[in-house]
Amino acid sequence: MNYLVIVTGSAYGKQNSRTALFFSRALIDCGHKLDSIFFYFSGVLNANKMVSPAEDEFNLVNSWQDFHSQFNIKLNICISAAARRGVISDEQALRFGIQIGNLAKGFTLTGLGELSESIRKCDRVVQF
């Protein structure tokens, strides 16, 4: 079965994102195909490389990056929602007159068209 996971919960403060990560790992472990993960609304905060939890806390941003590296699953970020929440790429930062962006490596800024295409290709869509 082919899945799409949508994450709308921020990296910290709620359990949505961490649960989505563990669910995504379980899908792959069970032999399912995971088309991509789409971060929307406050979920885009999972792509902020400036997040720095205490050393004894779970680092969710790094865990998403490790997941991407290990399984080559696309981590798509809604570009509009990200800009509204201050998550921008280095290229956008230059346009806004900011020295550097804060989009974490492994995440890709995309639009709702990418989400629509992923939904079309999938058997199941699960939102966290």
Q: What is the pLDDT along the chain (128 residues), one digit of tens a residue?
A: 999 999 999 999 999 999 999 999 999 999 999 999 999 999 999 999 999 999 999 999 999 999 999 999 999 999 999 999 999 999 999 999 999 999 999 999 999 999 999 999 999 999 99
**pTM attached to this predicted model:** 0.95
pLDDT at residue 109, as a whole number = 98
Which domains are present in the chain? 2-127 (3.40.1260.10)
Find all residues with CB under 8 Å of 92, minimum gap 6, and list them. 83, 101, 109
Which residues are part of the catalytic machinery?
78
With the CA atoms of 21, 127, 61 and 29 taken in that order, what torsion angle do they form, in degrees rounded to the nearest 10? 20
pLDDT at residue 53, as a whole number = 94
pLDDT at residue 4, as a whole number = 98
Quickly list H helices, the chain.
16-29, 60-71, 79-84, 90-95, 112-121
pLDDT at residue 19, as a whole number = 98
pLDDT at residue 38, as a whole number = 98
pLDDT at residue 62, as a whole number = 97
The sheet that has 33-39: what strands, in order across it?
Answer: 107-110, 74-78, 33-39, 2-7, 124-127
